[in-house]
Amino acid sequence: MSHETTGILVATLFLARDLAHREHLATKGLGSDARHRALGEFYEGIVDLADTLAEGYMGRFDVDLDIPLLAHGSGEDIINVLTAQVEWIRATRYDAIAREETPLHNIVDEVEMRYYHTLFKLRRLK
Which domains does the chain show, CATH number per domain? Answer: 3-124 (1.20.1260.10)
Instruction: Flag whether pLDDT at 29 surpasses 90.
Output: no
pLDDT digits (tens, 9 = 90+) for 65-78: 999 999 877 678 99
SS3 call for 77: coil
Instruction: Flag whether pLDDT at 44 surpasses 80.
Output: yes
Q: How far is CA 73 from CA 5, 22, 48, 55, 76, in A?
A: 21, 13, 25, 29, 7
Contact 86, 113 (CB under 8 A): no
pTM summary value: 0.93
Please report which confidence band the pLDDT of residue 105 belongs to, taking 50, 70 and 90 as the band edges: very high
Instruction: Flag whether pLDDT at 31 surpasses 70.
Output: no
Amino acid identity of residue 74, one-letter, is S
